């Protein structure tokens, strides 16, 4: 439980774009930085949440972790081993260990392949297995995600949204993955189905002791599901820490803006109308254009100030002394 199984250090991803980039200071750069210095680590059996709004880079992060985007320099360590995205065996290890469930179950399941064939895609080294063994494994995986065996011969369009997400999960679990990246797994589902899937994920985590990287914009879900949270804003983690700490004592102005804006049964009617939402800043603190607590120091990029159970990237916490380029543990 002590050693982190996945470490991400200073992950930076940039995409090449044509012409002017709007939204990153507006300068004429040819590269748009989608992730900037993202650092975190995950232990076995832990659920790590990533909250972010549109354009924060959450999906890019998810895709990089499973090797869909392959940065030239490596920033990812798995079981202490640095993953070189250009090496085949490293990529194989990555894919064996980390699975992904996408937001859109329609787009991630081939409509012309039966459910049992989709699930069997997840078995690595399929050739070494007899047909019966394979069949057995598929039924086992379907049971695990509470998918009725009668659905195994159906095609994805015949399934409901919740069942499709269960198929996606079964496909990932059958290969014995240790880390699941869940990219908005419940956003497209009805609320009662979302609750079923959240219950299922909680149960699977307990039974299989797997780790989740749970990516969503829904604060109620993040609060309920995760042990630790990182708040992502235009490619930068502004704050991370234990879930309770973040929700009870949000330190970064952006985090408190988010929590204040969140709608739940107990949400307060207090929400300042004057709150500006400016473009992310290209210089200094990235949130300074929208920040209500902006002061002179914000013209310079803040480092992370750690506070025991977490770290925050904001000059307001300069007094806490300890500065780090990345986020320590």
Partner 1 sequence: MAIQISSRVPLNSSLLEVRGLSVNFETIDRSVEVLKDVSITIGKEEVVGIVGESGSGKSTLAQAIVGVLDIPPARITKGTILFDGKEIYPQRDNNYNFRGKGINMIFQEPLTSLNPVYSVHDQMEEAVNIGSPTKDKKEKEEIIRKSLNEVMIRDVDTVLSAYPHQLSGGMRQRVSIAMVLVQKPNLLILDEPTTGLDLIIQRKIINLIMNLKREVFSSILLITHDLAVAANMCDRIYVMYAGRTVESGKMADVLHSPLHPYTAMLRNSIPEGYSSSGELKVSSGSPPDLRHLPKGCAFNTRCPKAMDICKEKVPELKVRDGSREVACWLYD
Q: What residues make contact with partner 1 under the rule CB under 8 A? A: 47, 53-54, 146, 160-163, 190-196, 198-199, 202, 217, 219-221, 223-227, 243-244, 247, 257-258, 260-267, 269, 271, 273, 275, 277
Give the nearest distance from C-beta 45 to partner 1 in angstroms: 12
Check if the beta carbon of residue 230 is closer than 8 Å to that of residue 40.
yes
Query: Toward partner 1, which CB reaches closer, 125 or 263?
Result: 263
Query: Where does the chain have alpha helices with state H?
Result: 58-65, 88-97, 105-108, 115-120, 131-144, 161-173, 191-208, 219-225, 243-248, 253-261
Nearer to partner 1, 154 or 196 (CB): 196
CB of 78 to partner 1, least distance (A): 25
Residue 160 or 249 having the CB closest to partner 1: 160
**Residue 292 exposure: Cα atoms within 13 Å on the Cβ side:** 13
C-alpha distances (whole Å) from 33 to each of 36, 68, 217 are 7, 17, 21
Supply the minimum distance, in Å, between the C-beta of residue 196 and partner 1: 6
**Cβ proximity to partner 1, 78 vs 291, nearer residue:** 291
Q: What's the half-sphere exposure (Cβ side, CA atoms, 13 Å) at 212?
A: 28
Q: Among residues 89 and 273, whose Cβ is nearest to partner 1? A: 273
Minimum CB separation from partner 1 for residue 277, in Å? 6
How many angstroms separate the CA atoms of 66 and 59, rounded?
Answer: 11
> Is-contact 262 85, C-beta < 8 A?
no
- Residue 74 or 262 having the CB closest to partner 1: 262
* Rounded-to-integer distance, Cα 48 and Cα 160, Å: 28
Q: How far is the CB of 269 from partner 1 (least distance, A)?
A: 8
| Shortest Å, Cβ 128 to partner 1 | 36
- Whole-angstrom Cα distance, residue 66 to residue 310? 26
* Residue number, 123 or 259, with CB nearest to partner 1: 259
Ordered DSSP codes for 301-316: PP-EEE-SSEEE--GG
- The DSSP output letter for 124 is T
Q: Is residue 23 within 8 Å of residue 15, measured between CB atoms?
A: no
Distance of closest approach, residue 158 Cβ to partner 1, in angstroms = 11
Concatenating the DSSP letter of every residue in 14-40 gives EEE-SSPPTTSTT---SEEEEEEEEEE
| Cα 109 from chain centre | 20
Min CB(200)–partner 1 separation in Å: 10
- Is the CB of 100 or the CB of 201 nearer to partner 1? 201
Shortest distance, position 177 Cβ to partner 1, whole Å: 21
φ, ψ dihedrals at 100, nearest 5°:
-135, 140
């Amino acid at each position: 439980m002590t050693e982190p199984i996945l470490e991400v250090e200073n992950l930076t991803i940039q995409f090449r774009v044509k012409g002017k980039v709007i939204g990153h200071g507006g300068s004429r750069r040819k590269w748009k930085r989608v992730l900037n210095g993202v650092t975190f680590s995950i232990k076995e059996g832990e659920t790590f949440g990533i909250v972010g709004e549109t354009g924060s880079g959450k999906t890019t992060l998810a895709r990089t972790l499973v090797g869909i985007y392959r940065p030239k320099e490596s920033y990812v360590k798995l079981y202490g081993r640095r993953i070189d995205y250009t090496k085949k065996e490293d990529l194989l290890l990555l894919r064996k260990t980390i699975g992904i469930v996408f937001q859109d179950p329609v787009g991630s399941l081939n409509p012309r392949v039966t459910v049992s064939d989709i699930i069997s895609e997840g078995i690595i080294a399929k050739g070494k297995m007899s047909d019966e063994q394979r069949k057995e494994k598929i039924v086992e995986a379907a049971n695990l995600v509470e998918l009725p065996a009668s659905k195994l011969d159906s095609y994805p369009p015949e399934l409901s949204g919740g069942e499709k997400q269960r198929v996606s999960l079964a496909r990932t679990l059958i290969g014995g993955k240790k880390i699941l990246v869940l990219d908005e797994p419940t956003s497209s589902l009805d609320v009662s189905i979302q609750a079923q899937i959240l219950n299922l994920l909680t149960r699977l985590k307990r039974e299989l002791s797997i780790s989740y990287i749970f990516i969503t914009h829904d604060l109620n879900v993040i609060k309920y599901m995760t042990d630790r949270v990182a708040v992502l804003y235009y490619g930068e983690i502004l704050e991370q820490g234990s879930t309770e700490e973040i929700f009870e004592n949000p330190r970064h102005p952006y985090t408190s803006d988010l929590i204040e804006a969140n709608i739940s049964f107990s949400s307060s009617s207090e929400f300042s109308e004057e709150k500006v939402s400016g473009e992310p800043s290209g210089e200094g603190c990235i949130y300074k254009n929208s920040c209500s607590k902006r002061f002179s120091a914000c013209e310079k990029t803040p480092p992370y100030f750690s506070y025991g159970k977490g770290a925050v990237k904001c000059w307001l916490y300069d007094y806490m002394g300890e500065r780090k380029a990345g986020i320590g543990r």
